Amino acid sequence: MDPSKIPSFSKVTAEELAKMEMEYNEMIVVIHFFIKKFLEKSKGIPLLVSVTDQNGVFIESIGDKSMKDTMVHHAGLQKGIQFTEEKAGVSSVLAAIELNRPIQLLGSDHYHHFLHSAACYSVPLSVNNKLKGTISVMTFLNYAHPMILTSLETVVDSIQRELDLREQNRYLDQINQMMLEKSTIGYIVIEKNGHIITANPKAKSLMPALEKKGQFIHDIKEFHDIQEFIEQGNSLNDYEMVLRNPQTSICLVDCFPFLEGSLIQLYDISEYKKTESYIQDAEKLSILGQLAAGVAHEIKNPLTTLKGFIQLIQENQYDESFTPVLLKEIERINHITNEFLNLSRPTVNAKDWYVMSKLFTELEVILSSLALPKNIDFVLNLEDVPAMYCDGNQLKQVFINLFKNSVEAVEQNGVISISVQLASAQSIRIRFEDNGEGFPNEILTKAGQPFVTTKQGGNGLGS
């Protein structure tokens, strides 16, 4: 290789160069941003910045026109040429790639004579510790200065940090996107004005209306009740919503405001509600078995009365005064069987206004049946309180469960007291008291936690 002659360079094809430019597009944009500032601070010094890939292929040049006209065009340096030691000899680009450290070649350090009037500085560029190429600065020898290499290293360091950050953000975006796509929780992002920006697949499966783009929160009928609340930027937690999609779903809705809008989360609790209903029905069946003997005893008493009156009628000793008594006893049997049947029906959510004293009066026969085996004396103290909007049947189930717990806690001939009173203008206090031993402190501190129980064979889920 003759050092007095300008070398001939290898060159990639136009298709390969186009592919490389596409691959390095983001990197070139970032390099342009930082190099532009570098060149502005170096005004008065003719600098030419070039970028290569990790194989020494020249893919971009930025900088002084005089440098381009003399050095670059004269030497045939253009996009797509490749620096190789066989054809171009020793260069700062190849040395920086091979040694993976900053390199400077000044004047006669270059192999080729046409570069003896130039100073070249090259710094390797890596992204996430992976070599991506080099950034080099060329100037005339009389402008050479150690600070050029130092400044270039600082600029390349800034470029690397920016590219590393973008790569990490891209990775996190991909992870987040994958999590959103696969998540069993529905996510909806809205702007402050209520415009829906995006919704993940789970949200769209729960609300098919979200498939249509460009909608606002007020366009989705399921959000009508809480639309104003969300648009005002308020937080929302565990709001229960019934969604009429192809299959009716029950969701808990959370809303979290952020600087530019709000994030809405939809937790599908349909299966949980089904399981809860199954457990409640199973509890009812368990209680029904325990009630059977007590109910039979309660029915036996009016039947005995009826039997006596019928015997009197057979002996032609009927008196009109018997009729009200007979009807009363028949009504008592009817009441007992109705309550028993109500308890056995599957759980159905049906809210209405209920008076607590009436609920307990209706339950009295059932509670008596539970108390009978231990000969428990239970007292009802029912004050006049306002009606409450609730699910009466579910409340009855709760009261039966609480009473059953008290029955299990007391000894033979125990005492259970139930009181209903007004606690405040907005609340009613219903209290179950018994003369059992009570909870030990270590259990009392865990009250309300799932799976905590003192019962043998209990599940700690409220049964």
More confident residue, 134 or 89: 134
- The reply to whether 187 and 291 lie within a common domain is no
- The reply to whether 304 and 228 lie within a common domain is no
Residue 62: the pLDDT is 87
- The reply to whether 316 and 371 lie within a common domain is yes
Whether 96 maps to a domain, the answer reads: yes
Digit-coded pLDDT (tens) for 39-78: 988 888 899 999 999 998 989 888 877 777 666 666 667 7
Residue 240 domain boundaries: 183-268
Residue 460: the pLDDT is 54
Span 255-264, average pLDDT: 88
Residue 253 and residue 236 in contact, taking contact as beta carbons nearer than 8 Å = yes
Whether 102 maps to a domain, the answer reads: yes
Residue 360 and residue 420 in contact, taking contact as beta carbons nearer than 8 Å = yes
* Separation CA 50–CA 92 (nearest Å): 12
Q: What is the mean pLDDT of the chain?
A: 83
- The reply to whether 79 and 197 lie within a common domain is no
- Among the three residues 117, 143, 178, which one is the final residue of a domain in this structure? 178
CATH code, domain carrying 207: 3.30.450.20
- The reply to whether 370 and 436 lie within a common domain is yes
End-to-end, the C-alpha distance of the chain in Å comes to: 92
Whats the size of the chain, residue-wise?
463
Strand partners, 51: 60, 135
Residue 253 and residue 241 in contact, taking contact as beta carbons nearer than 8 Å = yes
Residue 461: the pLDDT is 46
Whether 128 maps to a domain, the answer reads: yes
Whether 307 maps to a domain, the answer reads: yes
Span 269-290, average pLDDT: 74
Least trusted range by pLDDT, from 72-86, 113-127, 209-223: 72-86
Count of structural domains, the chain: 3
- The reply to whether 263 and 168 lie within a common domain is no
Percentage of residues of the chain with pLDDT beyond 90: 27
- Among the three residues 268, 291, 326, which one is the final residue of a domain in this structure? 268
- The reply to whether 24 and 73 lie within a common domain is yes
Whether 1 maps to a domain, the answer reads: no
Residue 298: the pLDDT is 66
Span 218-239, average pLDDT: 82
Digit-coded pLDDT (tens) for 144-153: 999 999 999 9
Whether 99 maps to a domain, the answer reads: yes
Digit-coded pLDDT (tens) for 346-390: 555 568 899 998 888 888 877 887 888 888 998 999 998 999 888
Quick count: other Cβ atoms within 10 Å of Cβ 101? 11
- The reply to whether 341 and 383 lie within a common domain is yes
- The reply to whether 276 and 264 lie within a common domain is no
Least trusted range by pLDDT, from 90-99, 125-134, 317-326, 350-359: 317-326
More confident residue, 291 or 334: 334
* Separation CA 236–CA 203 (nearest Å): 17
CATH code, domain carrying 158: 3.30.450.40
- The reply to whether 109 and 150 lie within a common domain is yes
